[in-house]
Amino acid sequence: MAFAIALAVELVIFFGAMVYPIDPAQQTALLNQANTLLNATGGQGPTGVFSSIFDNNVRVALLEMIPAAGAFLFGLSIFTTGQVIQVLAISSHLPGPLFGLALFFFPFSIVELTAYAIAVASGTMLIVAWRRKTLAQELPVFVVEAAVVVVVVLIAAAMETANILSPIISLGLWAPTALAVAVLAVYIRRRST
């Protein structure tokens, strides 16, 4: 349940940030940051692109697992990402939400956002366990969830790298992504009953 709530909140913040007004000076700063990041990965080969994406995303995801502070970082990072998407959309003369929805045409977006939702839900569950005095039982689960977050971020980085190399290949990744989502849904449903 914490995961579903985190994912829903994440999507609301993400799309909300795409329509939240940005002053021109901040637009310029965000566009410069985005272009710097795109240029840094643009000159690298597939391994370098993958490494850059994975390093950044795994760092963010693991920090989001920190109880309380991770939830703040989660909100801040997804809001900033939404604002960057808005700025990129403006520079392409497109509405921000349309540009953001286009990202979901490729499966890496939902996989990456899932990793962040798992991360913040895990940190939140540590707080719940502490309040219920079941922290000792929750810690091994937290370690497993950290490993899951790293694996999901690794998969998302590989998918995003594939998308950069060939969007057609990236579209082909919807089949295994849909299968993984179905397996996860069945697992969650069985676990909750």
pLDDT for 158: 92
Contacts of 114 (CB under 8 A, 6+ apart): 7, 152, 156
The percent of residues in the chain predicted with pLDDT above 70, rounded, is 94
Q: CA-based diameter of the chain, in Å? A: 53
Say how many C-beta atoms besides its own lie within 10 A of residue 54's C-beta. 19
| CA distance readout (Å), 78 to 15, 44, 121 | 9, 26, 15
Domain borders along the chain are: 2-192
86-137 residue pLDDT tens: 888 888 888 878 888 888 888 899 899 999 999 999 999 999 999 999 999 9
Q: Find the mean pLDDT for residues 142-163.
A: 93
Could you tell me the pLDDT band of residue 193, with boundaries at 50, 70 and 90? Answer: low
49-88 residue pLDDT tens: 899 899 999 999 999 999 999 999 999 999 999 999 888 8
Could you tell me the pLDDT band of residue 16, with boundaries at 50, 70 and 90? Answer: very high
**pTM here?**
0.86
The C-alpha atoms of residue 164 and residue 171 are separated, in whole angstroms, by: 12
